[in-house]
Structure 1
Amino acid sequence: MTSRASIGDCAILKGVATTNQGFQSLIPLEKINNEFLYYLILTLKNKLLKLASGSTFLEVSPNKIKNLLIPLPPLNEQIAIANILNALDHEITSLKNKKRQFENIKKALNHDLMSTKIRVLNK
């Protein structure tokens, strides 16, 4: 999770990584699902921003992060919540891809129509 500048951005790392002082590496305990934690951090972004301080750039200190009280449902519920949100993320990605495809079709059609490559007949 980023703790400086763009506070609250996060990712799930599947392997070993090196970070700098602008990150807080959160390693969940066995009773915390990593995908649930990911979505939880995203919902805490505004709260994290309110905890931030600094003159050159904002930063949330490790102590403030450690002292955050977070809701922690049972593991099976965490997994269910993460699965629902993950499915929605996949659907959003799919819809964004479809939108991009339609925008490309429109752009090509617009070019062809305006350059009179395709003629429109009035009846």
Structure 2
Amino acid sequence: MKPENEEEIQRITCAGDDSIIAFYVGNKFYYQFHRHGSVGEDAQFTIGDTSVITHEGTETEYLHPEHMKKPGWTGGDAERGKWFFKAIKKGRTTIVIEELFRFEVESKCTINILVL
């Protein structure tokens, strides 16, 4: 059970270029991404207007940390990550998410954000 004073942080996803996700000033939200460095899989984002939302931080965790310590074992560096954002001013902006494979953009989506 979550403590009463713990803030709910909404997860956002790529739902299509026409959708708009609305937040109020002060709301926090996150986008979950995948990274697998030894294979060449990565992700990056760009905020359209950093005066409307800000990047608050990044958290990552290894999916198989037990494999990191095995001699000769490869592929143990797969990660799940979260980028945390905060709505800081009323307005509209976008977050462009790019999924990369060996430094080349494999896919791209735009998340439209409205801050009320």
- For the aligned pair, the TM-score class normalised by the smaller chain equals under 0.3
TM-score when scaled to structure 2? 0.24
Larger Rg: 1
TM-score when scaled to structure 1? 0.23
More helix by share: 1
